[in-house]
Structure 1
Amino acid sequence: MSGSKSSNHAATAEGQDLPLSMTVHSQPDLQGLQAQQRTRSGRLRMLAVLAVCAAPVLASYFSFYVLKLRGDAYSELITPTVDIPAALQLHDEQGKAVSAESLKGQWLLTLVQDGACDQGCERLLFMQRQLREMLGKERDKLDKLWLIPDDTPLRPELKQAISQGVPVTILRAPRAELEAWLKPAAGHQLKDHLFLVDPLGRWMMRSPLDPDPSKFKKDLDRLMKANAGWDRPGR
């Protein structure tokens, strides 16, 4: 009998240990599942935020590529678009480093001109300013950017002229790096064009040589109006 009781006692103990063992070993699985759910939820929220940020820009491309506006564009659309290089070495006029990431968030009407800035450069700077003003209520979506590929100081009178109204953002960068990102039309140079960079930092349009402001403005109008919800003040 004592042996039977001992056996029953052992069986009972084993029976009691079994649920405890299952509980201990199943706990990490539950924690892992919860962690996976949190990770998945975080990723979904991040994708949702990215989608909201990109929606206005995608709407603009939709106007060109889906609504049959591409064939009517005066400028040359760049396909595929070209991302601004994250390692692009940019410096402001005081020599302070500027990250390429900081240029995102606005449409950028961009020039690449030497610091000496000849008559052709001055003409395009004037056109850049006028094009922005011609956009009317949409103009706050567009910033003016001048990329300078050398160390030539700007003339004081030129600096004063381009500081009138909303000033041009002036940044210097190595010529080779700019040429690796932006490309002129065959047989031309970077200084011959106006370049348009979208708010996601992608070069997506290039003006013809000696652009007609009224025709180029129509391309800008389509892009600006297609993303009416995008409205950030210029930097």
Structure 2
Amino acid sequence: MSGSKSSAPDAADHLTEAVALTVHDVEPPTLPRPGRGRLTLLLVLLACAAPVIVSYFFYYVVRPEPRNNYATLIQPTRTLPAGLPLKTLQGEAVAPKSLKGQWLLTVVSSGACDAQCEARLYEQRQLREMMGRERDRVEKLWLIIDDAPVPPAVLAAMQAQPPVTVLRVPAADLQAWLTTEAGKAFNEHLFLIDPMGEWMMRTPAQPDPMRFKKDMARLLKASAFWDRAGRQP
């Protein structure tokens, strides 16, 4: 009996030592430092933004040299005037900023639309289609610089899908933004405006669509990371 009594304290002592060792031997979990989490998040965001940053760099800094282009590269580009007085054919005012968000392949002419105007409108349609899968990033714009009525047949053709955006603007106001080659008329050129409203290129008079297609393709490729199909806000 006495032996069993003396063993009880020993067992209790061993149990206490085991618990103490267990408690002290287990290290508390290492919690991440708040600063390290923020740094990781910043690196993830930077990795996601890198393609866009590179695209902007090549688009705005490392631009193609003018000698490599068929069309005239406008340097510096000209920003769409915020006060440009645009109107629909019904006379309703249109805010210039509403044109932003898409590449604008633009024809400029009289509303009467002579043979040269019709040729430019045809080339405009064909060039957009030649962009292939990128064509949805390009919108067709026709700026009419007088009050002449549009022939019904031409107006009907403008409604073919995808339709042409047709707006009137006084020639004097438009010349503060778009200009022609010396001695040339507006309807001899095609004009290309980027999604930010910057006038980028003007074709030579009587343009060769196949050669201009290459210029357009380069610009669309350079802006591919930050510009998407469909009008962007």
TM bin (shorter chain): 0.7 to 0.9
- Contact kept? 1:74, 1:216, Cα under 8 Å: yes
Deviation at residue 124 of structure 1 after TM alignment: 0.4
Match of 2:144 in 1: 148
Query: Alignment partner for residue 173 of structure 2, among 162, 173, 177?
Result: 177
Deviation at residue 70 of structure 1 after TM alignment: 3.7
Query: Alignment partner for residue 202 of structure 2, among 201, 206, 209?
Result: 206
Letter aligned with residue 104 of structure 1: K
1:116 aligns with 2:115: no
Match of 1:104 in 2: 100
Aligned residues: 182
Query: Alignment partner for residue 233 of structure 1, among 227, 230, 233?
Result: 230
* Structure of higher CA gyration radius: 2
1:133 aligns with 2:129: yes
Structure 1 pair 140–63 and aligned structure 2 pair: CA distance change class (3 A)? farther
Distance of 1:228 and 1:117 partners within structure 2? 34
Structure 1 pair 56–201 and aligned structure 2 pair: CA distance change class (3 A)? farther
1:216 aligns with 2:215: no
1:72 aligns with 2:71: no
Structure 1 pair 182–57 and aligned structure 2 pair: CA distance change class (3 A)? farther
Describe the SS at the equivalent of 1:110.
Answer: strand
Deviation at residue 138 of structure 1 after TM alignment: 0.6
Distance of 1:205 and 1:103 partners within structure 2? 17
Structure with greater helix share of residues: 1
Detail structure 1 runs of 4+ shifted over 4 Å in the superposition.
52-58
Unpaired segments of 5 or more residues in structure 2?
1-50
Q: Cα deviation per residue 1:171-221 (whole Å; 9 max; x = unaligned)?
A: 001110012211101111222111111111111110001111100000001
Deviation at residue 59 of structure 1 after TM alignment: 3.9
Letter aligned with residue 59 of structure 2: S
Structure 1 pair 77–54 and aligned structure 2 pair: CA distance change class (3 A)? farther
Letter aligned with residue 74 of structure 1: Y
Unpaired segments of 5 or more residues in structure 1?
1-51
Query: Alignment partner for residue 155 of structure 2, among 159, 173, 181?
Result: 159
Q: Normalising to structure 2: TM-score of the pair?
A: 0.72
Distance of 1:208 and 1:172 partners within structure 2? 23
Structure 1 pair 53–183 and aligned structure 2 pair: CA distance change class (3 A)? farther
Fraction of identical pairs, as percent: 49
Structure 1 pair 227–118 and aligned structure 2 pair: CA distance change class (3 A)? same
